[in-house]
Chains A and B, each alone.
Chain A
Amino acid sequence: MASVKKEMQSLSKEKMVEILEKMLVIRYFEEASIKAYQQKKIAGFLHTYIGQEAVGVGTLAHKLPQDSVVTTYRCHGLALALGMPPRDGMAELFGKVTGCARGKGGSMHFFSKAHNFLGGHGIVGGQFGIGIGAAFKSNYDEDNAVSFIFFGDGATVQGTLHETMNLAALWDLPAIFICEDNQYGMGTANARAIANTDIASKAEAYGMKGYTINGMDLNEVHGRMGEIVKEVRATRRPVLIHMKTYRYTGHSVSDAGLYRSKEEVDAYKLKDPILAISREMVEAKVISEDEFKTLQKKTKASIQEALDFAEESPEPPLEELTQHVYMDDVGNA
């Protein structure tokens, strides 16, 4: 309660409700996508963000228009947190031409140029370079942007993280490395994969600051990321954030969850970030119980609208097959 009060002092009611709504959008979007997958409307991989909403929403509340964001294949939540209309994302999952990547990217490759959302990326650790490239561009053009680089705990042992932290620290790139530690790299618990599971401590090796944040607590994420983003924007020094979070669903929809207990999952559900913040807001009388119920209802309706839109949208026409392979037409390809 202390933290919510502190945060509330700096936020208007509208802002708080907007943040809560974004978390609900993500939750309902992901629940709907799992259902649609079971109905075979969606295929391929589907990695949901359920449980991790506070990380994305609390962090990206501090994003300015010139800032950029890049992440992994678990990308729906961040796109929605940035304000991508749910219909653009759902249509993408359905493989429709109205999707955010015209149905060519799918679940792992959401993009939004309007938000400088540089994509969801399918190779673990493949997105780090893109993120520091955006930070490099900000210094090149002196536009005072920062670059948010999200990744999972599994990527902390990929070489690309260490190469790019070195480059970012060497060249004073305003890169915010955010490890969303949901404790498992697919089905492998961190202790079985990472020699040093204190992720933030890796920053020191590159002369960077490292921070550990409880990613299940929206107040903590929002409050501390506000300070950190401000710091990076001013100092142009990269930082590494260890966000401790959890995903309730499997790595992807094809995950039977044999590597962890039901008790463990249930224990985290009690610390659910949406449950926690909505309770706090009601108790602190930021919103009433009725207002919260109305918000839930409204958000569910928006996801239903997205589903309907995705369902009714056309598949990409066959001409799309060879469009966007190259931008320049140089004749016979």
Chain B
Amino acid sequence: MPMIEMREALNQALKEEMTRDEKVFILGEEVAEFNGAYKVTKGLLDHFGPKRVIDTPISESGFTGLAVGAAMMGLRPVVEFMSFNFSLVAIDQIISNAAKMYYMSGGLYNIPMVMRGPNGAGPRVSSQHSHNMESVYAHFPGLRVMAPSTPLDAKGMLKAAIRCNDPVVFLENELAYNLKEEVPEGDYIIPIGKGDIKREGTDVTIIAWSRMMSLAKTAAEELAKEGINVELLDPRTLKPLDMPLIAESVKKTNRVVVVEEGHHFSSLGAQVAESVYSNLFDYLDSPIARVYQSENPMPYAANLEAATLPSVEKIIQAVKQVTYRN
């Protein structure tokens, strides 16, 4: 299998799905002539032409709303947000329109639409370009939320998202676009709602997604040297959560650390912890530990930024806390 970067895996998914279904088109800022701000859409304009690969003005509310209307009339738009920070400009279209349409129309109009782009902190881009949006979008019924951590997952998950008949928020990560992995050529699907065990272990389950899984992997390797055998669980789809997989893992390890890049208050990580407490309380041997971003806007200064974000060290500390190794 060819070794490719995350951005290329996503590109393959788009190309294959646009080839399979002519109703699929992509629009967003700089997706066509510029080949995508992060090169995810590289070559698509040349291959499919300007009818289906569309550069938009800086007009998130306008083009996201356009995608909702196009989806109501039978097309299958893929909206690229150059960064999910900019999705905030379009949030009324995402929540009041895309998420609610199928329900409030009594099942007349579903919205087969994907909104994708990088989520979370980029390097040194300060307060307005570092939001983690998963907790916001996962809150609202009507939306699916997915966040791949590996190239292989990214391709199969994006293909599943494009084939989904409901609106999907598909969260990528700027710092993960150059992750490399062997990825199968051609068609395969990783279904919505199916998580994955990224490392089998016996002592503690770390639940993490997107870029945090990379940190958790490093932490697991370090902890193995100290004799702590970590299981890594990537839910991949954040809504709905793969609770059967989480239950299986927790029943085995009896200890849980939840790692997320976003803030801790009213967060998806809090939801994961609540779901474990409510359903699996009797299997826990220690309180759940959580790793998250500190409760301040992202600062620019390198030392402050590092102090804000989760780190391998913070994950190691959390694992030691739940395994009483401190």
Whether A164 touches B65, Cβ cut-off 8 Å, given contacts A103-B106, A105-B105, is yes
Q: Is the CB of A100 within 8 A of B106?
A: yes
Nearest B residue (CB) for A131: B69
Bound Cα distance A140, B59 (Å): 20
Q: Is the CB of A137 within 8 A of B62?
A: no
Within 8 A of B (CB), among A15-71: 68, 70
Q: Mark B113-126, 1 if CB is under 8 A from A, else 0.
A: 00000000000000
Bound together, the chains give a CA A146 to CA B161 distance in angstroms of 30
Q: Does A285 lie at the interface of the complex (its beta carbon under 8 Å from any beta carbon of B)?
A: no
Q: How many residues of B contact A (CB 8 A)?
A: 50
What distance in Å separates the Cβ of B38 from its nearest Cβ neighbour in chain A?
24
B108 with A129: CB separation less than 8 A: no
A160 contacts B65, CB within 8 Å?
yes
Asked whether A167 and B108 contact (CB < 8 A) given A68-B73, A122-B96, A324-B103, the answer is: no
With the chains together, A135 CA to B103 CA distance in Å?
A: 23
A324, closest chain B residue (CB): B107
Residue A121 interfacial (CB < 8 Å) = yes
Structural contact, B68 and A130, CB atoms closer than 8 A: yes
Please judge, given known A-B contacts A134-B69, A164-B65, whether A118 and B109 are in contact too, CB under 8 Å: yes
The answer to whether residues A136 and B92 also contact, given A129-B97, A130-B97, A333-B240 and a CB cut-off of 8 A, is no
Interchain CB contact under 8 A, B142 and A325: yes
Q: Are A126 and B93 in contact (CB under 8 A)?
A: yes
Q: Quick one: which of B93, B105, B191 contacts A109, CB cutoff 8 A? A: B105
- Give the complex CA separation of A57 and B74 in angstroms: 27
B92 touching A123, Cβ below 8 Å: yes
Check A129–B109 contact: CB distance below 8 A.
no
Residues of A within 8 A of B109 (CB): 111, 113, 118-119
B71 within 8 A of A: yes
Q: How far is the CA of A204 from the CA of B109 in the complex (A)?
A: 34
Contact of A332 with B by CB under 8 A: yes
A14 at the interface (CB under 8 A from B): no
What CA separation (Å) do A134 and B106 show in the bound complex? 20
Map CB proximity to A onto B50-80 as digits: 1 under 8 Å, 0 otherwise.
0100001101011111111111111100000
Q: Is B197 an interface residue (CB 8 A)?
A: no
B154, chain A: closest CB distance, angstroms: 18
Residue in chain A with minimal CB distance to B105: A111
At the interface, yes or no: B280 with Cβ under 8 Å from chain A? no
A104 interface residue (CB < 8 Å to B)? yes
Q: Which of B68, B164, B165 contacts A129 (CB 8 A)?
A: B68
Q: Does B172 contact A (CB under 8 A)?
A: no
Contacts of A327 on B, CB cut-off 8 Å? 102, 107, 110, 165-166
B304 contacts the other chain (CB 8 A) = no
Q: A308-333 toward B: CB 8 Å interface, digit per residue (1/0)? A: 00000000000000011111101111
CB distance from A225 to the nearest CB of B (A): 21
Assess whether B66 is in contact with A102, with CB atoms less than 8 Å apart: no
Closest B residue, CB atoms, query A105: B104
Query: Within 8 Å of chain A (Cβ to Cβ): is B292?
Result: no
A227 to chain B, nearest CB (A): 25
Minimal beta-carbon separation of B87 from chain A (angstroms):
14
Q: Are A118 and B69 in contact (CB under 8 A)?
A: yes
Pairwise interchain contact A116-B73, C-beta atoms closer than 8 A: yes
Establish whether residues B63 and A134, one from each chain, have CB atoms under 8 Å apart when the complex forms: no
Known: A122-B96, A136-B70, A163-B61. A330 touches B193 (CB 8 A): yes
Task: Output the least CB separation between A181 and chain B (Å).
Answer: 22
Interface positions of A from 75 to 106, Cβ below 8 Å from B: 99-105
Binary A-proximity of B121-143 (CB < 8 A = 1, otherwise 0): 00000000000000000000110
Complex CA gap A240/B75 in Å reads 26
State which of A116, A129, A324 has its C-beta within 8 Å of the C-beta of B93: A129
Residue of A nearest to B242 (CB): A332
- Which residue of chain B lies nearest to A323 when distances are taken between CB atoms in the complex? B107
> Which residues of chain A come closer than 8 Å to B141, judged between CB atoms?
325, 333
Q: Give chain B's interface residues, CB within 8 Å of chain A.
A: 25, 51, 56-57, 59, 61-75, 92-93, 96-97, 101-110, 141-142, 144, 164-166, 191-193, 237, 239-244
| Sample of 12 further A-B pairs with CB below 8 A, known A126-B97, A166-B57 | A105-B106, A113-B108, A119-B104, A137-B69, A140-B51, A159-B61, A164-B62, A167-B59, A324-B106, A326-B102, A326-B166, A333-B141
Residues of A participating in the B interface, judged by any CB pair closer than 8 Å: 68, 70, 99-105, 109, 111-113, 116, 118-119, 121-123, 126, 128-138, 140-141, 147, 159-160, 163-164, 166-167, 170, 323-328, 330-333
Could you list 19 A-B pairs, sorted by A, with CB under 8 Å?
Answer: A68-B73, A116-B73, A118-B69, A118-B109, A119-B109, A121-B97, A126-B96, A128-B65, A133-B68, A141-B74, A159-B61, A163-B61, A325-B142, A327-B166, A330-B191, A330-B237, A332-B243, A332-B244, A333-B240
